[in-house]
Amino acid sequence: MRRYLLTGAVILILIAALFTGLTGCFLDSNTSSKGTTTPTVVKPAPEVASVIATTSGTEAAYFATLDIKVKNSGAEGTILVKAALTQAGKSNTNEMPVFLKQNESHELKLTFPLVWQGGEFTSKVETIVP
């Protein structure tokens, strides 16, 4: 009789183990007790490599041109290059979207109106990931 009880207990344990193993196979991996991992989003990592400012024109049409070189060390994507030029207390802004692949550089020109003999001007260039 003990042999039957022992055999029955072993069979019951095997059935319970088999049932537990089968239900584990059919569970969604997102609902497992181990937790879920959220994928990380990789965005572009742009930086301004260089800015060269030049002026041209005449009294009626005088301009400053910023030759801007941007580099992307992140994932490919579209970035926004935004520049501001200030002269005699007045600021002008200009921007341009640029698509860059990973580790790619791009050169662009942004032009701003200036006042003829209006004094020194300052420029500021930044990159924005939209």
What are the tens digits of pLDDT across the range 78-109?
Answer: 999 999 999 988 999 999 999 999 999 999 99
Phi, psi of 93 (to 5 degrees): -120, 155
Beta strands 62-72 and 90-100, pairing class: unpaired
Give the range among 1-5, 79-83, 87-91, 114-118 with minimum mean pLDDT.
1-5
Tokens of 13: 């344990």
Q: Distance of CA 9 to CAs 29, 35, 110, 124, Å?
A: 32, 34, 82, 79
Tokens of 55: 């002026």
Please state the pTM of the whole predicted model. 0.67
Mean pLDDT on 8-12: 72
Q: Looking up tokens 């969604």, which residue turns up? A: 28
- CATH code of 46-128, in short, is 2.60.40.10
pLDDT of residue 30: 52
What are the tens digits of pLDDT across the range 28-81?
Answer: 555 445 667 888 888 999 999 999 999 999 888 999 999 999 999 999 999 999
Domain extent listing, the chain: 2-31, 46-128
Residue 118, pLDDT above cutoff 90: no
pLDDT of residue 117: 82
Tokens of 97: 């979207």
